[in-house]
Amino acid sequence: MFTQRIPTPHPARLLLGVALLLAFVLVSGCDTGLPDIEAESISPAIPADSKLRHGHLLERATYAAPRVAAEIRSRKGSAAPTANSGTGEDELGDGEYVGLIIGLDTYKVLSRYGEMDPYKVISRYEYDNVFDGLSVWVSEEIVAQLIIDLSLNDEIEWIEPDIEVQLHPFGIREVSATGTESVSWGTLVSGESDAPHNKVDLFVMDTGISTDDVKLESAYDFTSNTDGSAPDIDGHGTHIAGIAAGLANQRGIRGVAPGAHVHALRVLTGQETDDGGPVDLSKAIAAVEHVVSYKLQKPGRPVVLNMSLGAEVGTSEYNALDEAVVAAIENDVTVVIAAGNAGIDASTVTPAHVHEAIVVGAYDQANQFASFSNYGATVDILAPGVDIMSLDHDSDDLVLMSGTSMAAPFVAGAAAAFLAENKNATPAQVEALLVESARSGIAGVPSGTTDRALDVLALTNDHDLLWLTRYALASGGDIAIENEIKVTSITGGNANIYTSGQLSIAAGTQARIDGFGYYAGSFSGDASVFRPRYNPTDLPVVMQQDPLELPSFQAQNYQHVASQQSSGTVRISGEQIQLGTAEAPVVWYVEGDLVLEDASITGYGVILVGDDLFVEQGSAIESASDTHATIAIYAQDDVRIRGHFDAHAFAQDQLSVDNEVRVVGGLAALGQVSLRADASITYAPLAQELLQALRRGQ
């Protein structure tokens, strides 16, 4: 079965399915020359040099045939095909099946076909938003041989068991409804926001949502592949949605970000049994794919994903679900994950050990760390998680639940509230500001665990400068590309261009842009120069969008933050200027112009320029990191770049590249952005230490 995407995947991709997997072991007459392997001992029979990851979990990925048959029955009649559509699932017999997730380059194997037994390997999902790969059911009698044979194929990157993940419930008891709007103690102590939350999308991956007390925009049921409906028969997902985004409508519960656009992703039925379809890694990955696809189509809308589920896997090494979460974050989805309720170190819990995500532990009304909460260095922030009141799924009553599942949506709601007013902040920036603004003082935290608790009100400081770090090129006016240009990303993801005006590429220009072109006005030029790295659903590479909401930068507003100040115009000739370090970045305020002539600047710092910035030929601004831009420059008027430039730059007026240069960072202007000379632009995220430096003294 292949996961439904937005829009429907290209038909050619649906041809692959099971054929690839059986090309080596099930083709008529094929002899691999390898010994037969008995099903009774799967893991020891697989060589240590195979491409199997997390082999210690194979037993947990083994399921009885009725479980597989139940999944097939649930999907019949859906638009997404299965490998044995039109056949009887009773042919599966009474044996066992092993779930596998396989990473590969699908385009290299489209020609590998052969005769196959549809009851030995059953295709489930194909992935190409988060990584290239697919998931399958494999009859236990052939799984070891299949792993060995696939490991011999250099087009297969890895194979791993498809284990179950679970909810993080702890306890529940009903509370009588008051008939009026209520606010949980968690919201009272963490704070709430009155921002226009309808500008933010909040995806809740859980048991579904059944309530009219949140603004439910869409629903998809991954347990039955049903679009438009994701009913909650358990209550867990509805409870979470209320905490994060319950409406301010004088009834029910009021959430942290009332009115945020909520999307239900039902990956658990709430009645998980061996034959009822628990959520596997593969199903959760398909839901993450769904979110990434949505974000690619709506790049201007902030997206938050809440995940209150997980599994202990005995290792901190990332698995397929973890890599999918990282891919979502790289595509500007802010991901919030419950740490889990086993009272263990979260470093061995998927997906809670994903460092790039915002991982949430729990505390109680006495400001004590919850005894059930997972802990450790991977936990980023704490939030209320004991006796949290929120919505019920099948009545007007309010109920109490406890768990890190309840703590996570407080943080997800706070992220949505912040993004409602800072829509172009990156996931890393959201995490950094949530953690930095959190209050310390939660008692009883285990060693190595944060004691900082969510504080929504502390997020209300001015963050106008954050938005520019999200795009390779951004403009509140027009973007004009007139010469040969290459735009890529240091992270390997998309390097997008976004303009509120016209996007124009001169005729005959030799260009390659590894991202999408987004414009609000008009587009002229050759669209084929846009080649996004993430575009599996064949979205148009150039798309019209709403205008960017850009701030008006005033350098003097940040003068009080500066650790170093210069009056008038500053001209640097033949010198090397060393800014600060990661531990102590410099904020330098220049009252007039800043001109570099055969000079260089390096280190960590923010430069606030009262007038124009000129980086002349022979000059260089050099980053102190290979993975991030460690210098950000904000100019009150124009920016002109004619020398090497490892930094993020924002111009209140116009920005131009007038010489053959290499840029590592991101370029943005409230007015026009012009590339008049050959240039190589490699997008690099901004070092988070600079954000902390800017916020000092605000």
Structural contact between residues 161 and 169, judged by C-beta atoms closer than 8 angstroms: no
Structural contact between residues 502 and 478, judged by C-beta atoms closer than 8 angstroms: yes
Strands 620-622 and 644-645: parallel
List Cα–Cα distances, 677 to 180, 486, 511, 517, 523, in angstroms. 63, 11, 12, 20, 20
Which of 54, 236, 644, 648 is catalytic? The answer is: 236
Query: Which residues make Cβ contacts (< 8 Å) with residue 35, sequence separation at least 6?
Result: none
Structural contact between residues 124 and 137, judged by C-beta atoms closer than 8 angstroms: yes
- 206 part of the active site: yes
**Closest by CA position to 272, among listed 165, 171, 172:** 165
* Separation between Cα atoms, residue 168 and residue 550, nearest integer Å: 40
573 burial via Cβ count (<10 Å: 0-12, 13-18, 19+):
exposed
Distant-in-sequence contacts of 175-180, Cβ < 8 A, 24+ apart:
175/389, 175/397, 175/398, 175/399, 175/400, 176/397, 176/398, 177/395, 177/396, 177/397, 177/398, 178/398, 179/251, 180/250, 180/251
Backbone phi and psi for residue 54, each to the nearest 5 degrees, phi listed first: 55, 45
> Half-sphere exposure (CA, 13 Å, Cβ side) for 679?
30
**Closest by CA position to 621, among listed 638, 641, 635:** 641
Structural contact between residues 246 and 256, judged by C-beta atoms closer than 8 angstroms: no
* Separation between Cα atoms, residue 381 and residue 379, nearest integer Å: 6
b/e sequence 464-482, b meaning 16+ C-beta within 10 Å: bbbbbbbbbbbbbbbbbbe
- 552 part of the active site: no
Strands 497-499 and 473-475: parallel
* Separation between Cα atoms, residue 240 and residue 375, nearest integer Å: 21
- 236 part of the active site: yes
Backbone phi and psi for residue 139, each to the nearest 5 degrees, phi listed first: -55, 135
3-state helix, strand, coil in the chain (%, to 5): 25, 30, 45
The angle subtended at Cα 489 by Cα 647 and Cα 476, nearest 5°, is 65
Which of 128, 206, 332, 345 is catalytic? The answer is: 206
Residues with a catalytic annotation lie at: 206, 236, 405
